[in-house]
Amino acid sequence: MSRTELAVGQEIDGFTLQERLCVGGMASIWAVSHLQHRQALVMKLPKLRGEDDPTAIVGFEVEQMILPRLRGPHVPQVFASGDFTEQPYLVMERIAGESLRARLDQLPLPVDEVVSLGARIADALHDLHRQHVIHLDLKPSNILFRDDGTAVLVDFGLAHHDRLPDLLDEEFRLPLGTAPYISPEQVLYERSEPRSDLFALGVTLYYLLTGERPFGFPGSQAGLRQRLWRDPLPPVCLRADCPPWLQEVILRCLAVDPAARFASAGELALILRNPEQLPLSALATKRSVDSRWQRLRRWFRAMGRETQPSGSAAAQLARAPIVMAAVDLTGGEDTLAEALRRSTALLMSVAGEARLACVSVLKTQRIGLDFNEDAQGRNLHVKRLAALKHWAAALSLPAERITFHVLAAPDPASALIEFATQNQVDHLILGARDSGILRRHLGSVSARVVAEAQCSVTVVRRPER
């Protein structure tokens, strides 16, 4: 394995080094070109000096193992890699946008921007967890954005893959991560908890909103261990215009117990886009850190504590899917709505920590003006929302497990598919009306949803009379 100094113009397996873009603690990033690749590329090269942290080499092996297996817009595409017999490297697409770190000079950011960033990052995490990977080093410098605003996660040197060997866990017995963002369970050497990434996202949101890190920057293992009993100062104490619901979201993400956080990154993304659906607790109005007595009790519980493995990212997502019920509440569909409700109740009874999104579409005209009121002067959106909640009342789900959404669109099928895609729905259940000649000719809403939705779909039919 060679360890020559890198220089502009040097070639590595046909890739020409053009410009060194950045140097990190474990690797350097270079812009590179290749005759067979027209797109902009970067090459990541690990530091190989003997005095460097050995986790850099193992971490690079981990990234080489995990990153090429990932797909989708939330990770960079990998084009080539080199092993340690010659020169280890990874060549991947160059993301056009900046990293979130570039915004840190403008902190604190506007509330709306913090919420938008949080939802997009949560989307990326949920997609990652669906591919059996936990990032475990989420921080602003590891979050990039494409030109369309899509969040892209980079640097998988500390990541954990459910279905691959965990080299870091096998070779090192120390907390791995970046001190301000590391979760309590990581302090206890647990690397298979996907909600560790939600903790890091909570730290990031707190930092973007207030300009302060909730736990500072501890420089020792003893300092990190305080995370097992210390709680952060509520964001509203540092940012007076912080909405109560956003404080609730951030403090839930920062809970010591992973079970007290959101069940999945998908659920968090859904709430960030629909904050009015979040039931508020005492966290929303909290104005100080917990009392000394409360912290002392947590300290006693933390003494000698070892974490309980949660299983895997896949296991947690299986326990906490997002279910979408598309409910047709137009006239004459009472029997079908009842059949859909029974099927939804059955599905939710066996779906563990699932969250249900109840969705109904108000069909609008493609051309011309739509009326917002019925003949009695009642707002159509409010009327449909009330009907949707009435439909769901018999399900008897707790408020934290159900949300309601009324969409206005000229094409109900497209609206349902777009909602399911945007909110990363795992399972969609909807009713199918009776067939007719015109419906068979033009195609039904249910048929289009089944054909085009990116999730599993259950179609419920009206029972035989």
Better-predicted residue by pLDDT, 124 or 174: 124
Residue with tokens 């010659």: 86
Per-residue confidence (pLDDT) for residue 437, from 0 to 100: 47
* Pairwise pLDDT comparison (237 vs 387), residue with the higher score: 237
Torsions phi, psi for 316 (to 5 deg): -65, -40
Instruction: Decide which of 372 and 105 is more confident.
Output: 105
Please give the distance of CA 90 from its chain centroid, rounded to a whole number: 25
Q: How confident is the model at residue 300 (pLDDT cuts 50, 70, 90)?
A: confident
Take residue 73 and report the two structure tokens written for it. Answer: 């817009």
User: Which amino acid, residue 442?
Assistant: L
Is residue 178 pLDDT above 50, yes or no?
yes
- The residue that leads in pLDDT, 1 or 456, is 456
Q: Is the peptide bond before 108 cis (omega within 30 degrees of 0)?
A: yes
Give the β-pairing of 355-363 and 322-326: parallel
Share of the chain above pLDDT 90, in %: 57
* Average pLDDT of span 409-434: 89
What per-residue confidence (pLDDT) applies to 368? 45
Q: What is the pLDDT of residues 338-373, one digit of tens each?
A: 999 999 999 898 877 888 999 999 888 765 445 566
pLDDT of residue 78: 96
| Residues forming beta bridges with residue 456, ordered by sequence position | 427
- pLDDT value, residue 443: 54
Is the predicted pLDDT of residue 117 greater than 80, yes or no?
yes
Whole-prediction pTM: 0.87
- 300 by Cβ neighbours in 10 Å (0-12 / 13-18 / 19+) ranks as exposed
One DSSP character per residue, 90-136 reads EEEEPPSS-BGGGGGGGPSPPHHHHHHHHHHHHHHHHHHHHTTEE-S
Domains within the chain, CATH numbers bracketed: 11-93 (3.30.200.20), 100-313 (1.10.510.10), 321-461 (3.40.50.620)
- Rounded (10°) angle between helices 265-273 and 196-210: 30
- Cβ of 116: how many Cβ atoms within 10 Å? 15
Mean pLDDT in the chain? 87
Q: What integer is the mean pLDDT of 68-77?
A: 96
Reported as a pLDDT band with limits 50, 70 and 90, residue 1 is very low
Give the residue, 167 or 312, on which the prediction is more confident. 167
Q: Which pLDDT does position 229 carry in this prediction?
A: 87
Residue in the structure block whose two tokens are 């993304």:
269
Q: Is the pLDDT of residue 442 over 70?
A: no
Highest mean pLDDT among 9-18, 297-306, 378-387, 402-411: 9-18
d(C-alpha 202, C-alpha 117), whole Å: 12
Residues of the chain with pLDDT > 70: what percent? 90
Q: What are phi and psi of 15, to 5 degrees?
A: -95, 130
pLDDT for position 373: 61
pLDDT of residue 187: 92
CB under 8 Å to 448, separation ≥6 — which residues? 413, 414, 417
Across 369-398, average pLDDT: 78
